[in-house]
Amino acid sequence: MSKKIAFVTGGTGGLGTSICRSLVDEGFTVVAGYYSGGKHEKAQAWQEAQRKDGYEIEIAYGDVTDADSCAKCVAAVEEKLGASIDVLVNNAGITRDGQFKKMSWEQWDEVLTANLDSMFHMTRLVINGMLDKGWGRVINISSVNAQKGQFGQCNYSAAKAGIHGFTKALAQEVARKGVTVNTVSPGYIKTEMVAKIAQDIQDKITSTIPVGRFGTPEEIGRLVAFVADEESSYITGADLSINGGLHMS
C-alpha cells in the first residue's frame, strides 16, 4: 500500500519542522509548505538540513493568504506525488502583537488573513479528495491564547478562536465519511515566534505556567502525529490543549 501524504503549512518553521518530522516517523510521505517571502534557497537549505538528519521531506512553495497560490501549490504537490493529500496540518501563522487601543487595521487584517482565511483556502482544496477516498485528517493549529485571550493579541486570539469554530462545524459535515477535523492548541513553545516577546514578559509568562517551562516543538509534533494516526478515528471536533497547565478547561 502506498504511503499516505501529509501536507504541513508553515512546515519549515518552528512548530512545522517538528510536526513534519513526527509525521515522517509515523510513516507518512510529508510535504512542508513554505512561503518565506519567496526565499526558495532558505527552504532548500532547510530540506537539506532535514535530509542530513535522516528526514526526507518534500517542500512546496505557496502563500496561504492567496487562494490562487494555494491552488497552484496543492496541484503541483498532487501531480508530483501522483495522489491527493490525506492529512492537512494548517499550521502556518503569524503574530502582530500590540494593545488594541493602538492596533492598526493592517495588524488586524494580516493576522486574520494569514491565520484564519488560510483555513478556507487550504482546506477547501483538499477536503473533496478526502471525502472521495473516505479517509482524511484535518488538523488545525490554534493556541492557548484562543482559549483564554491574551493581553496584546486581540487579532491573534480572535483568529485562533475562529479556527476552532471552523473545526467544530467542518467536523460535523465530514464525520460520516471517515474524515476527522481537530484543533491542537499549543501553549508557549520554544520557537522564534515566542522568542520575539521581550525577555521580562517571557519570564512573567513562564512564572504562570504550572509545569514551570515553555513547551518544546517536539511535544507538539508528537500530539499532531497521534491525531493523524489511523487509530485516532474517534477523535473529531476536539480542541486538544497542550500548554503545561497554563489554561485548564
The catalytic residue positions are: 156
Question: Is 189:142 a contact under the CB 8 Å cutoff?
Answer: no
The correct pick among 108, 156, 166, 214 for binding ligand CAA (CB under 6 A) is 156
Residue nearest to ligand CAA (CB): 152
User: By CB under 6 A, is residue 166 in contact with ligand CAA?
Assistant: no
- Which residue lies nearer to ligand CAA by CB, 145 or 241? 145
The footprint of ligand CAA on this chain (CB under 6 A) covers a number of residues equal to 18
User: By CB under 6 A, is residue 95 in contact with ligand CAA?
Assistant: yes
For residues 136, 144, 238 and 120, what is the CA-based torsion angle, rounded to 10 degrees?
-40
CB of 179 to ligand CAA, least distance (A): 26
**What element of type H or E holds 195?**
helix 192-195
Q: Which letter does DSSP use for residue 190 in this model?
A: S
The correct pick among 12, 115, 143, 183 for binding ligand CAA (CB under 6 A) is 143
User: By CB under 6 A, is residue 99 in contact with ligand CAA?
Assistant: yes
d(CA 9, CA 93): 9
CB of 215 to ligand CAA, least distance (A): 10
Give the CA radius of gyration of the chain: 17
DSSP 44-110: HHHHHHHHHTT---EEEE--TT-HHHHHHHHHHHHHHHTS--SEEEE---------GGG--HHHHHH
The correct pick among 22, 153, 155, 180 for binding ligand CAA (CB under 6 A) is 153
**What element of type H or E holds 199?**
helix 199-207
The correct pick among 38, 49, 132, 151 for binding ligand CAA (CB under 6 A) is 151
User: By CB under 6 A, is residue 158 in contact with ligand CAA?
Assistant: no
Task: Scan residues 180-199 and list those touching ligand CAA (CB under 6 A).
Answer: 188, 193-194, 197-198
User: 41: which 3 cell numbers?
Assistant: 534557497
Please give the residue ranges that form the binding site for ligand CAA (CB under 6 A).
95, 97-99, 143-145, 150-153, 156, 188, 193-194, 197-198, 201
